[in-house]
C-alpha cells in the first residue's frame, strides 16, 4: 500500500478529540483508528504490538542481525484531529498536475487560493490533496501516521540493515494530552522523532514555552441610575484588562521567535466576566516576564476596583525542548543528512506552538519534530501533496540508515 493510499484510508476515520472531556482518550472513536493500526502492524510482521486502555499504540521492528547494539530509534505521530473544525465525513479532493490556480473546495463556497496561500505556487505540477471545504483534511497528523506505517512496512519487508525501530501512535495531542500517559520506558527508544510538522524536510527542536491564563472578574451590580461610585461593571473591567496588554504582541502581529498574549475567548456581564489567554515565548526569561505582567495587571485592577475583583489563575503547559535536545544534536544532524541524501532541502525552524515531542523530551525521551508535507492545518483549507508525503517517507528511512551506519 502506498503512503497516499494509507493516508486516504486513515482520514476517512473520524478521530476528533474532545477538549471538553476529562477521559483518556477524550473521544472513544480514536480507538477505531488505533485498532486498525494494530491490525496492520501485526499483518506486516511487527512485534510487541499493543494497544493500551488509554488508546496508545506501540510496536517494535526488530533490529537486523548484527545491528542489535545500534541506537533504538522511535517515530511517533498522533491519531486525533483538532476539535477546531469538523473531522467527520472527510471527503478529500485529489488534483493531479496542479496548475497553480484557484481550487474550488467542493460546493462549500470556499476556495483554496494562491492569494491567501502564496506557497501554492511552489506546488505546481504536483498531486494536491485538499478538503471539500466542509471539514478539515486530517493531515495533522494522519500524514505522519501514514508515513510511519509506510516506513514500518518498508523495513519489515525490505533488506536494508537497521537497528531496532519503535513506532507509537498517540491520542489527544490536539487537546494537549498526547504525552500524558505515554509509556516512555515501555516504548524502549533511546531517541525519537515526532512526525507532526509541515513542509517535507522541515525539522524543529525549539518550541514555545507555554502557559494558560484565566482571569475571573467579579463585578458589583446595582441599579444603573444609582450606580455612582458603587457599580463595578465586570464586562468593562474585562475590556480594560485586555487593553492593558501590549497590542503589538498578539499572534497576528508576531512571527519567528517573537512571543505573544492570545485572547482565546471571553464572556461577561455586569456581574461577572471571564477572559482566557494563552501565553507563548521561546525565551524562558521573556516568558517569565509575560506571566509577571499578568500578575501586575491583576494587582493594578484590584487596587482600582477593590481586592478580589480580579483573580488570575496561571497554569504552565509545556516548555521549550531546546535545552533537552541540545545534548543530542545528532538527532538534527542525522535528519539533515537524511533529507540531503534524498534530495530534499532541510529547513530548521522554531515551532510557533508545541508538540508531544516537547513534553516527551522532558519525560526522558529526546524527541524533535519532523515535517509531513502538509499545510494550513486545523481548517477547511488544509492540504498536502502526494510527493511531499513520499519524500518524507524517504527521509524517515534515511534517518534509520544513518543510525545503522553510526
The answer to whether residue 39 is catalytic is: no
Give CA–CA dist 362/324, Å, rounded: 7
CATH number of 209-318: 3.30.70.360
| Per-residue model confidence as pLDDT tens for the chain (406 residues) | 999 999 999 999 999 999 999 999 999 999 999 999 999 999 999 999 999 999 999 999 999 999 999 999 999 999 999 998 999 999 999 999 999 999 999 999 999 999 999 999 999 999 999 999 999 999 999 999 999 999 999 999 999 999 999 999 999 999 989 999 999 999 999 999 999 999 999 999 999 999 999 999 999 999 999 999 999 999 999 999 999 999 999 999 999 999 999 999 999 999 999 999 999 999 999 999 999 999 999 999 999 999 999 999 999 988 999 999 999 999 999 999 999 999 999 999 998 887 889 999 999 999 999 999 999 999 999 999 999 999 999 999 999 999 999 8
**Predicted local confidence at residue 406, as pLDDT:** 86
Distance from C-alpha of 367 to C-alpha of 242, rounded to nearest angstrom: 36
**pLDDT score, position 351:** 87
Distance between start and end Cα atoms, the chain: 30
Q: Which architecture characterizes domain 3-206+320-405 according to CATH?
A: 3-Layer(aba) Sandwich (3.40)
- Of these residues, 40, 132, 173, 390, which one is catalytic? 173
CA 286 centroid distance within chain: 23
Q: How many Å apart are CA 213 and CA 294, to the nearest integer?
A: 8
Say what the pLDDT of residue 283 is: 94
**How many C-beta atoms lie closer than 10 Å to residue 296's C-beta?**
11
Between CA 133 and CA 104 the distance in angstroms is 8
**Annotated catalytic residue, options 80, 153, 154, 390:** 80
Annotated catalytic residue 258: no
Give the span between the Cα atoms of 356 and 172, in whole angstroms. 10
C-beta of residue 281 within 8 angstroms of C-beta of residue 261: no
Contact 180, 253 (CB under 8 A): no
Structural domain boundaries in the chain = 3-206+320-405, 209-318
Amino acid at each position: 500500500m502506498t503512503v497516499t493510499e494509507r493516508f486516504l484510508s486513515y482520514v476517512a476515520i473520524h478521530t476528533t478529540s474532545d477538549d471538553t472531556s476529562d477521559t483518556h482518550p477524550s473521544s472513544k472513536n480514536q480507538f477505531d483508528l488505533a485498532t486498525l493500526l494494530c491490525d496492520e502492524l501485526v499483518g506486516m510482521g511487527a512485534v510487541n504490538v499493543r494497544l493500551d486502555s488509554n488508546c496508545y499504540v506501540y510496536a517494535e521492528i526488530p533490529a537486523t542481525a548484527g545491528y542489535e547494539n545500534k541506537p533504538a530509534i522511535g517515530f511517533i505521530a498522533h491519531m486525533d484531529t483538532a476539535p477546531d473544525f469538523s473531522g467527520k465525513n472527510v471527503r478529500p479532493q485529489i488534483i493531479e498536475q496542479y496548475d497553480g490556480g484557484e481550487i474550488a473546495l467542493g460546493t462549500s463556497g470556499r476556495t483554496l487560493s494562491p492569494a491567501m496561500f502564496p506557497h501554492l505556487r511552489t506546488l505546481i505540477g504536483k498531486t494536491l490533496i485538499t478538503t471539500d471545504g466542509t471539514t478539515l483534511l486530517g493531515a495533522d497528523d494522519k500524514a505522519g501516521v501514514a508515513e510511519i506505517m509506510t516506513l514500518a512496512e518498508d523495513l519489515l519487508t525490505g533488506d536494508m540493515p537497521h537497528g531496532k525501530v519503535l513506532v507509537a501512535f498517540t491520542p489527544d495531542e490536539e487537546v494537549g494530552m498526547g504525552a500524558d500517559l505515554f509509556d516512555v520506558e515501555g516504548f524502549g527508544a533511546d531517541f525519537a522523532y515526532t512526525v507532526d510538522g509541515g513542509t517535507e524536510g522541515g525539522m524543529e527542536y525549539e518550541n514555545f514555552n507555554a502557559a494558560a491564563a484565566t482571569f475571573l472578574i467579579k463585578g458589583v451590580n446595582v441599579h444603573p441610575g444609582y450606580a455612582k461610585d458603587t457599580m463595578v461593571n465586570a464586562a468593562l473591567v474585562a475590556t480594560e484588562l485586555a487593553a492593558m496588554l501590549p497590542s503589538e504582541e498578539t499572534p497576528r502581529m508576531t512571527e519567528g521567535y517573537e512571543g505573544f498574549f492570545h485572547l482565546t475567548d471571553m464572556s461577561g456581564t455586569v456581574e461577572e466576566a471571564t477572559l482566557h489567554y494563552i501565553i507563548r515565548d521561546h525565551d524562558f526569561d521573556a516568558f517569565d516576564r509575560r506571566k509577571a505582567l499578568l500578575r501586575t495587571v491583576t494587582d493594578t485592577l484590584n487596587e482600582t476596583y477593590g481586592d478580589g475583583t480580579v483573580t488570575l489563575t496561571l497554569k504552565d503547559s509545556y516548555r521549550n525542548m531546546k535545552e533537552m535536545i541540545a545534548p543530542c544534536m545528532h538527532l538534527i544532524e542525522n535528519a539533515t543528512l537524511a533529507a540531503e541524501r534524498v534530495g530534499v532541502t532541510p529547513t530548521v525552524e522554531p515551532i510557533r506552538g508545541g508538540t508531544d515531542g516537547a513534553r516527551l523530551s522532558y519525560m526522558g525521551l529526546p524527541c524533535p519534530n519532523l515535517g509531513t508535507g502538509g499545510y494550513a492545518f486545523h481548517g477547511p483549507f488544509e492540504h498536502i501533496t502526494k510527493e511531499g508525503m513520499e519524500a518524507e517517507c524517504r527521509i524517515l528511512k534515511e534517518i534509520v540508515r544513518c543510525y545503522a551506519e553510526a
